[in-house]
Chains A and B, each alone.
Chain A
Amino acid sequence: MFHRESGYYKTSYAADMALYPLPIARWTVAAVALATCIAPFVLHEYYVSILNLIMVATVGALGLNILVGYTGQISIGHAAFMSVGAYTAANLAVRLDLPFWVTLPAGGLMAAAIGAIVGIPSLRIKGLYLAIATLAGQLIIEWTINHVPWISGGAQASIEVPRPTLFGTQLKTQFQLYWFLLFFAVLAIVGTLNLVRSRIGRAFIAIRDQDIAAEIIGINIFRYKLLAFAISSFYAGVTGVLYTYYLGIANYEQFQIVTSIDYLAMIIIGGLGSILGSIFGAIFVTLLPIVIRLGMENWGSFLFGDADIRNLIPNLRLILFGGLIILFLVLEPEGLNRLWRNIRSYFRVWPFSY
């Protein structure tokens, strides 16, 4: 009934290493999967569009968490890697008329290559200095895309992209896009779960925890740091492509430094080094501005005038955002994931408190 290990005996190493060894955990996953499949049928299109945004953000947050949470290398250039993916895919789709199953991996790979280059300084520098180096990467990429018409398509640095086509039908409605995005979100989640529990992921965690010890057991630190940057940027690139297909347009304004900070907020609020945390963070950060807007529109008039509300909504988002990050760093540095685990272990030992 509860999330308890007692009474379940594993008879093979495969069972011991399963993603969800406990029946209750498997049931939970099944229930969530069922809910995700029913959701688009019962929800209004507006809410489906929010779910779509969450799924796009999940892929990006997972990617950043691989780099920051698992490998311990900070990056403020995540949004720039998204833009690399977005513009690569947009150019391929518009100029060569390529389908999404070509542009999507191409965007990811291009972002991975650029990400690995931006990650080169990570061999020598750590922490704050690496943050500044990746910030430079963000600004350089942003500038380049904005100022090279060959990449950005000229006017407003934006390229209109036709929506993806699957089996001859173009995915136009939010309902259709939902399934398209869900596929990639699930792929990213399962892939990341697998990655961090096997050889490559363990090496990443080793580098984060103890780089000297990692080296002595034969992990080539430089190679693995670059690999982490490449994988993380691949996710970012794919996120950029998905976002471009979702919006129907590649636009650099979606991938500015504020977006990088948003994604960092996702993994900090959700939980560094946690996959569930990445998902929680993506949900939280995507919903926050929407909840604020709804709240202000409905109840703001008790406190403020109409003009004030319109001014307040975007700023309130920033204020709450900053406040929440501080709150989480101080009170629960391990994020929403930790809160969830606390709740779970409360019931695990219930009715005792230890």
Chain B
Amino acid sequence: MAAGQVQLRVERVAKQFGGVTAVDEVSLEVREGEILSVIGPNGAGKTSLLNMVSGFYKPDRGHILFEGEDITNLPPSRIAELGVARTFQNIALFKGMTVLDNLMLGRHVRMKAGVFASFVYWGFAQKEEIAHREKVEDLLEFLKLEDLRKMPTGALSYGLQKRVELGRALALEPKVLLLDEPMGGMNQEEKEDMARYVLDVNEERGTTVILIEHDMGVVMDISRRVVVLDRGRAIAEGDPKSVQGNPAVIRAYLGTKASGKKAA
């Protein structure tokens, strides 16, 4: 898997909330087709960084470029349209809707029917619905959700909800997929399934993946590169092995002897 050219460039972005610096001059280059993991202790600024990439936060300083275009100040819906999809740490599905409708909504930006076409339905809108339904069915098959397609997502288990959310993000046919703790709260088996899906998406569709994850086993297994954040700063970057042995990283996670903290 040869890494392509730089697809997403984060240039010295900084974000403060009141007196707290959440992200402090972080720069990042994400190459086309790679799996990049962002790790770090709680409160390191991982999610804040992701929120800036997807447009929910506007950075105080710095720029974010996607395929050469400055997306720093674009609204989230526009960034999604460009091909950046994401999932949330604490699942943001449409709970009353079925799995199918959630995924169909994921295709919103790829569909075109306007008010008039929707009102008339028979004709353009119906044809479009069927065409996109076929794509969604492919996804349901890929994620093994076929038998649940008419279930309201609120009734599904936590692990399945995370899978549906991945499906909704994939329905957008993203170029870059931002995953915020996709394995949080899962058991070992569910984690393995999710890791397999992420790898498959990356390999079969060539989708770039940016992953925030706390499970070090998963991170070390599937990522090509790892970036470590601590207190808003990027303290290390490299392939999983080198990061693992990096003294700064060990210090960030375990503390130093002088501070008297014990390893957890």
Contact = CB atoms under 8 A, between A and B. Distances in A.
B211 interface: no
Nearest to A222: B75
B129 A209 contact: no
Contacts of A214: 105
Interface string A187-228: 000010011011111110110011011111111110000010
B130 interface: yes
B255 to A, nearest CB: 35
Contacts of A197: 121
B90 to A, nearest CB: 11
A133 interface: no
B29 interface: no
Contacts of A216: 54, 76, 80, 85-86, 88, 92
B120 A206 contact: no
Given A217-B106, A219-B77, A221-B77, A199 B95 contact: no
A217 B102 CA distance: 10
A212 B88 CA distance: 10
Interface in B186-202: none
B32 interface: no
Interface residues of B, number: 45
A13 B134 contact: yes
A221 to B, nearest CB: 7
Interface in B103-145: 104-106, 108-109, 111-115, 117-122, 125-126, 128-130, 133-134, 137
Contacts of A205: 94, 96-97
Interface of B: 54, 56, 75-78, 80-81, 85-86, 88, 92-97, 101, 104-106, 108-109, 111-115, 117-122, 125-126, 128-130, 133-134, 137, 168-169, 172
Given A195-B115, A202-B105, 14 more contacts: A14-B126, A191-B119, A199-B112, A199-B125, A199-B129, A200-B115, A201-B118, A203-B105, A213-B92, A215-B80, A217-B105, A218-B78, A218-B81, A219-B108
